[in-house]
Structure 1
Amino acid sequence: MAPCEADGAVMFGRYAFPPNERGYCGPDRADELLERVANHASGPALAEVARGFEGAWPYLELIGECLGRAPLDPVVVRTYWLGGPELARCGGRPFVDSLETRFRPRLSRLEFERLAGAVVAGATPHHNFHVFGVYPWVGLMRGGMGEVPLQVLDRCRIRWGRVAALHGDTAVVYSRSLTWDGRQLTLRAAAPEPARLRRDGQALAHAVQPGDWVALHWDWVCDRLGPSELARLRRSTAIELDAVGACAYSAPATVLA
């Protein structure tokens, strides 16, 4: 593995570990994943773990193909998790074709047209599109199921927050959670929430301090965010929310992958 791909594999692991720890996606190698990320120990084994994330890996391949880079190149990995202007080169027809290959066999014609419609409305192969548009939770909320789907959506997306305090292995982070008005997903005002920094002495993120902006996935701090990364994530989140909201479609449970 080239040095830049090694760095990209560690970056991938930082964001992929939190749902993997819960058994939601990826191979059953969460302890190994955390240890390798915490020690910046890349290599073929970590790349193998990354390829086992069947939900994320096709997006990395698509972004890599559009940008002329390997799937674990740091630019590709950062673009998938945090977004950025590079995603504009990965939407449109290539994205629809990728979605068709992956999901058309499991969807009715109308269901796939709704999914493709989000791409027409501006959706891109960002992790938060997969959360908002492919997972069934928005559809479940439209069906009246309420708070549980909303909580899953909020935890599963990559979100940003600012560290207010540190207490041992936990940080208090001010972040904006999702809210649902019966038709659209939007963001609330920032409020404090606890977020994990370490497990058994092992951390995903570099050391953080009060005042730092960080990326969150489920209940973990995944990394510090610089100004450009924070702007990327904010902008891409808004794009995916607008695209899914404009189509007003509900993703079926059969797409949960």
Structure 2
Amino acid sequence: MPSGAGMFVRYAFPPNERGYCGPSDTGSLLQYGGADAAEAEFRPVAQAFTGAWPYLVLIAAAAGIPDPLDARVVEAYWVGNDLLDQVSPTVLGTSMEELFRRSVGQFSKLALGFVTNGLAHHSFHVFCIYPWVGLLGNERMHAHALNVLDKCRIREARVVEIADGRVTVESQPLIHEDGRLALGPAVREATNGAVTNGVVDGLGLADGLAVGDWVGVHWDWICDRLTEGQRDALGRYTTHHLTIVNDRAG
């Protein structure tokens, strides 16, 4: 497992590169992607990710881990592990409500309804906190909202081809049918064209990939290989929050 800082960079870089969150100097973010990343220097950078950082703080506090950038904490948020079970829904809900009141002045009734059984996982933030689920009912916004929900979540994929500097993966896309979100049949997709076997400008997000590897994908980037245990956790927590959303919609 990479250092906590290194893992955070691997999963946080894709949305940061698009300008969605974190510091504006995306290039400097990559210097912390290695296994020996200096976590003390990286802390202010991580804190600039105002969406992810509060979850790391919550998970660390609940687990009695002093450092929110501990690799176990970072893994819990982005991929999932049993540390999430230690964050009570009440504490999670209070934290999210306070965060939204500071940033936008209110915590939507829709989001508040999702918190009851939510866990401090990235899929919770994507499906239950972001406004995109609420926009699925808007015919004009539906396709865009579904695409954002699919790309913004961390999704499990299998490497099926590496050729001409591009990595093709196979994964199950998010679908929305009869008012419910689910994972559809597997499809192939090419990862970001700037990626050469998972390496960006000589710095690896997930280098040395091989056909058959299971990986975590965020937006169009391969972030890391996934162990069998990580695949199970990612699938379980993703399904958990999809169920919350679907139950609420029904």
Question: TM-score, normalising length from structure 2?
Answer: 0.90
Instruction: State the match for 1:135 in structure 2.
Output: 130
SS in 2 for 1:142: coil
CA drift of 1:37 comes to 0.8
1:73 counterpart = 2:45: no
More displaced 10-residue stretch of structure 1: 51-60 or 83-92 = 83-92
Deviations 1:122-149 (A, max 9, x none): 2211111111111111111112222111
| Higher helix content, 1 or 2 | 1
Instruction: State the match for 2:219 in structure 1.
Output: 218
In 2, are the aligned partners of 1:84 and 1:235 still within 8 Å (CA)? no
In 2, are the aligned partners of 1:128 and 1:237 still within 8 Å (CA)? yes
SS in 2 for 1:207: coil
In 1, are the aligned partners of 2:174 and 2:184 still within 8 Å (CA)? yes
Paired letter, 2:152: C
Q: 2:95 aligns with which of 84, 89, 98?
A: 98
Off by >6 Å, runs of 4+ in structure 1: none
Paired letter, 2:113: G
Deviations 1:172-218 (A, max 9, x none): 10101101115111101111111142222322114211111000001
CA drift of 1:108 comes to 5.6
Distance of aligned partners of 1:156 and 1:115 in 2 relative to their CA distance in 1, 3 Å threshold: same
Give unpaired runs (5+ residues) of structure 1. 250-257
Instruction: State the match for 1:52 in structure 2.
Output: 48
In 2, are the aligned partners of 1:118 and 1:243 still within 8 Å (CA)? yes
Instruction: State the match for 2:235 in structure 1.
Output: 234
1:136-155 correspondence to structure 2 within 5 Å: 136-144=131-139, 145-155=141-151
In 2, are the aligned partners of 1:29 and 1:49 still within 8 Å (CA)? no
Instruction: State the match for 1:12 in structure 2.
Output: 8
Paired letter, 2:89: G
Deviations 1:10-60 (A, max 9, x none): 111110001101111001121111233157432433222111101110011
Instruction: State the match for 1:190 in structure 2.
Output: 186
RMSD: 2.0
- In 2, distance between residues paired with 1:8 and 1:228? 18
> How many residue pairs are counted as aligned between the two chains?
242
Paired letter, 1:127: H
| Structure number with higher relative contact order (C-alpha < 8 Å, ≥ 6 residues apart) | 1
Deviations 1:57-113 (A, max 9, x none): 00110111111112101111000001123212213211111112112464667x33x
